[in-house]
Amino acid sequence: MGNIERVDYETLYVEKHLDERYAVVTLHRPDSLNAGSPTMFHEIGEVMKGFEDDDQVRAVVLTGHGEKSFSAGADLGGMTFDKMSNCYWFIRRCNEAFEAIERLPKVVIAAVNGYAFGFGLEIALVCDIVLASDNARFGLREMNHGLLPAVTVTRGLDILGRRRVAYMAFTSDDVSPAELRDWGMINTVVPREQLVEEYSALAARIANRAPLAIAATKRLINKGAGAHYREAENTMPGLFASEDVVEGRRAFEERREPVFGER
């Protein structure tokens, strides 16, 4: 397996493949299908920032623990949105992860295994290259909770197109990896048993590319990111504080369809 250095965090673990000069960041919350949490958002951000000046890492892979789920969405359990300051803090914490990936001057490869809903789809979306196993399933569940998928309706428009983003956001329907490959979000779909082999070979190959050219290319590709994240921070807190989100969470906990718009 080569020379691997592992560091464990609360919601993820990092394995540095020192001989090949790439790292694998694995989301690890198995009891919740690797759902995103404020702690996970922060840890992703801190880990990605740590790679900036790490000469041992010249490419990064982001994947999920196990075959069942990459990340099944954002876990709002335990969060209260009774104060606007809580709402703003939550969206800023979410953006820590997304912005750190886009700002990292190294290629980040998403290796999607299993469910990628909501946060899971969006964290893959902001990666530079996306590989998906043939058992992956994608979807935007935010509308079910009275929310909107802020990253997809901003950062995702140029990748997926307005009509496709609108349909995914408004319906919350699942989308297959083959469809998203045809739509331009996924680069390659591989059999699930070959995903590790595929991302390992790709990461090792990219780690040998010219680092300054990679950094400059990524900076130009993602030059509009900052404005989009600030826009989300101005929009999302009001939604988090709404009665629709209260109803969406209550309906989810009670395993029923939400009834929105009633006061």
247 is catalytic: no
142 is catalytic: yes
Kindly name the residue from 20, 43, 99, 142 that is annotated as catalytic.
142
Kindly name the residue from 10, 20, 122, 262 that is annotated as catalytic.
122
SS (H, E, C) the chain: CCCEEEEECCCEEEEEECCCCEEEEEECCHHHCCCECHHHHHHHHHHHHHHCCCCCCCEEEEEECCCCEEECCECCCCCCCCCHHHHHHHHHHHHHHHHHHHHCCCEEEEEECCEEECHHHHHHHCCCEEEEECCCEEECCHHHHCCCCCCCCCCCHHHHCHHHHHHHHHHCCCECHHHHHHHCCCCEEECHHHHHHHHHHHHHHHHCCCHHHHHHHHHHHCCCHHHHHHHHHHHHHHHHCCHHHHHHHHHHHHCCCCCCCCC
Catalytic residues: 122, 142
